[in-house]
Structures are given as structure tokens and as C-alpha cells.
């Protein structure tokens, strides 16, 4: 398999990661997951922009220009003959003797690889079961950082409850999912947490808000409370890999009619029309 290592496309088996890589020791790095449909990277420009923003927020210097990164990722998809799957892209601050402050001399380490992944058609059709749990993450969830323990613990809790996702709340306010953004529909209006420091500014979330406006669905970037979540007409989660997945239950309680709601379906159809075929 061909992977991206710094500025080279090379064979996976030829690459070694240093034991003093700060991504490995501190989670000192950032990442992106990019969807590939029909051999084309979907919203690649937006993902690269978000990566650059995360890098700037953490003062990680990217070693080359974003245009070069874009063409290397496109070449990676071609070389691996990826038709339907994902690109995982990670940038760590680099390698240095273990010490908390930024090292004086270190160069960011970039890795990128692809893997096959079909669309989650059955989940999109039937919807997902979820749990609600406390958001214990840090206060810069807008940075797509490698530090994912808050998300890992929440997702594990969901899996142990035979659910697909954990919806998070901070002091009773619904923020997002462990690896998705969350929206609810109440009386025809779409509500979702504002894009501030408490959530990841999801690329799919953005696409869905645009589609909602085009479809004439009023959008309010106001976070629902825990109580509002349970009495919503419809709830859905969005992400690069999950697209728009209807939520049919939370903590075993049925949402709406217990089947994907009509506005969720409309948004799914509009999203589907954007997928390159
Ligand atoms: N929120 C969190 C915490 C995530 O980890 C992700 C994606 O991994 C999302 C939201 C969805 O973001 P996107 O639509 O850009 O994939």
C-alpha cells in the first residue's frame, strides 16, 4: 500500500515512526478524515482549510504549502486505486526528546493513508441508536486534535450499550456526538449547537446547514438542552463517514415515531445528490 510520509508517496512497510514523535507521546498533533466517493476526495479543500486552521491554532508549522498537500493526497488516492473509502491524514509537531514545551528544532511529521469503506447504507436507512453522556472533553473541541480520549470513552460507553453513537451534553446543553455533529428538528425548525470552541466545526454540518437553507428549512444555531433532545420531532447526526444518520433512540427512549423523520429524509436526499457518481 502506498502512503504519504512527509512529502513523499512511499510504501507503508518502508516507513517507521520515531518513539519520540510528539503525536505518539503527547497527542501533540492534528488530523482529518476525508471521504472518497467514486475516486474523488469529497470537500477536500474544506478539509485542508480546517487542517491549516487546526495547525495555526496549535502553532504547528506545516512544512509545505497546502496546494502541494492537496495534490499529494489526490495522487495517493489514484495510486491506491481507491474508489469508495477514506483518507486518514495526520500531522504531529514532530520528533524531539520528551519534554512538554514546544521543541526548538522539530519538523512536523505528516502521514496519510487510504482505506476502503462502503457507505453506511443500512444505518442511513434504519437510523442509529444512541446514548446521552456527559461531555468531559477539553474546551477547544474546535481544534481537530489527536487527543481523543474523551471521545474514545464516550464511544466505548455507546458500544457497551449496543448503540452506534454517544451524544454529549455539557451541563445539560447538547454539544455534539463523540465523532459527529448533532441536530434536532422541532416544529419544522433545525437547531444545532453554534460553531464555537465547544464543538468541531463539522464539514458535513456546514453542508447540511446550507442544504437546509436551500430547502427552506429554518436553521437556528442554538444548542438544544437534554430535555429538548428527548422531545424533538427528529434528531440526526452528521459526519464525513456517517453522512446524515437519523437517530431513532437515545438511552432506549424512542425519538419521534422511532423511524427516520421526513426532514431528515429530505436532507439525506439533497446530500445524496451532491455525491459524485
Ligand atoms: N464532531 C466530532 C467530535 C468529530 O470527531 C467529527 C468527525 O470526525 C465530526 C463532528 C464531524 O465532522 P465532519 O463532518 O467534518 O466529518
Complete domains list, the chain, with CATH = 2-116 (3.30.470.10), 121-274 (3.20.10.10)
- Bridge pairing between strands 189-192 and 219-220: parallel
How many alpha carbons fall within 13 Å on the CB side of residue 176?
Answer: 24
pLDDT band, residue 277 (cuts 50/70/90): confident
* 3-state secondary structure (DSSP) of residue 22: helix
Residue 179, C-alpha cell as written in the block: 465523532
Residue 122, C-alpha cell as written in the block: 443500512
Q: How far is it, in rounded angstroms, from Cα 270 to Cα 277?
A: 14
Q: What is the largest distance, in Å, between two alpha-carbon atoms of the chain?
A: 58
Q: Which residues contact 219 (CB under 8 A, 6 or more apart)?
A: 189, 190, 192, 209, 212, 213
Ligand 1 atom with minimal separation from the 200 CA: 1
Q: Ligand 1: does its nearest atom lie under 6 Å from the Cβ of 175?
A: no
- What is the C-alpha end-to-end distance of the chain, expressed in Å? 25
ipTM of this predicted structure: 0.99
Q: Ligand 1: does its nearest atom lie under 6 Å from the Cβ of 207?
A: no
Model pTM score? 0.98
Inter-residue contact 23 to 31 (CB < 8 Å): no
Give yes or no: 155 in active site.
Answer: no
Residue 195, C-alpha cell as written in the block: 460553531
Inter-residue contact 134 to 168 (CB < 8 Å): yes
199-247 confidence digits (pLDDT tens): 999 999 999 999 999 999 999 999 999 999 999 999 999 999 999 999 9
Q: How far is the CA of 199 from the centre of ligand 1 (A)?
A: 9
Tell me how far the alpha carbon of residue 112 is from its chain's centroid: 16
142-197 confidence digits (pLDDT tens): 999 999 999 999 999 999 999 999 999 999 999 999 999 999 999 999 999 999 99
Name the nearest CA neighbour of 183 among 151, 146, 211, 150: 211
Q: How far is it, in rounded angstroms, from Cα 62 to Cα 107?
A: 8
- Bridge pairing between strands 29-37 and 8-11: unpaired
Amino acid at each position: 500500500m502506498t502512503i504519504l510520509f512527509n512529502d513523499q508517496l512511499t510504501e507503508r512497510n518502508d516507513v517507521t515512526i520515531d518513539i519520540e514523535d510528539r503525536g505518539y507521546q503527547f497527542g501533540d498533533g492534528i488530523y482529518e478524515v476525508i471521504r472518497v466517493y467514486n475516486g474523488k476526495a469529497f470537500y477536500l479543500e474544506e478539509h485542508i482549510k480546517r487542517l491549516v486552521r487546526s495547525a495555526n491554532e496549535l502553532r504547528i508549522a506545516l512544512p509545505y504549502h497546502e496546494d502541494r498537500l492537496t495534490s499529494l493526497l489526490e495522487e495517493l488516492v489514484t495510486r491506491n486505486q481507491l474508489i469508495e473509502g477514506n483518507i486518514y491524514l495526520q500531522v504531529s509537531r514532530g520528533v524531539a526528546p520528551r519534554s512538554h514545551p514546544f521543541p526548538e528544532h522539530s519538523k512536523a511529521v505528516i502521514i496519510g493513508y487510504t482505506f476502503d469503506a462502503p457507505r453506511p447504507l443500512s444505518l442511513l436507512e434504519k437510523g442509529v441508536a444512541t446514548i446521552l453522556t456527559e461531555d468531559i472533553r477539553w474546551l477547544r473541541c474546535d481544534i481537530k486534535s489527536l487527543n481523543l480520549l474523551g471521545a474514545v470513552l464516550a464511544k466505548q460507553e455507546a458500544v457497551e450499550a449496543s448503540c452506534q453513537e454517544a451524544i454529549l451534553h455539557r451541563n445539560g446543553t447538547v454539544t455534539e456526538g463523540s465523532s459527529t455533529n448533532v441536530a434536532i428538528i422541532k416544529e419544522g425548525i433545525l437547531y444545532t449547537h453554534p460553531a464555537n470552541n465547544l464543538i468541531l466545526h463539522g464539514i458535513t454540518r456546514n453542508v447540511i446547514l446550507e442544504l437546509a437553507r436551500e430547502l427552506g428549512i429554518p436553521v437556528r444555531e442554538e444548542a438544544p438542552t437534554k430535555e429538548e433532545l428527548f422531545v424533538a420531532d427528529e434528531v440526526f447526526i452528521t459526519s464525513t463517514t456517517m453522512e446524515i444518520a437519523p437517530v431513532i433512540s437515545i438511552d432506549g427512549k424512542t425519538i419521534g415515531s422511532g423511524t427516520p423523520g421526513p426532514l431528515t429524509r429530505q436532507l439525506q436526499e439533497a446530500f445524496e445528490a451532491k455525491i459524485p457518481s
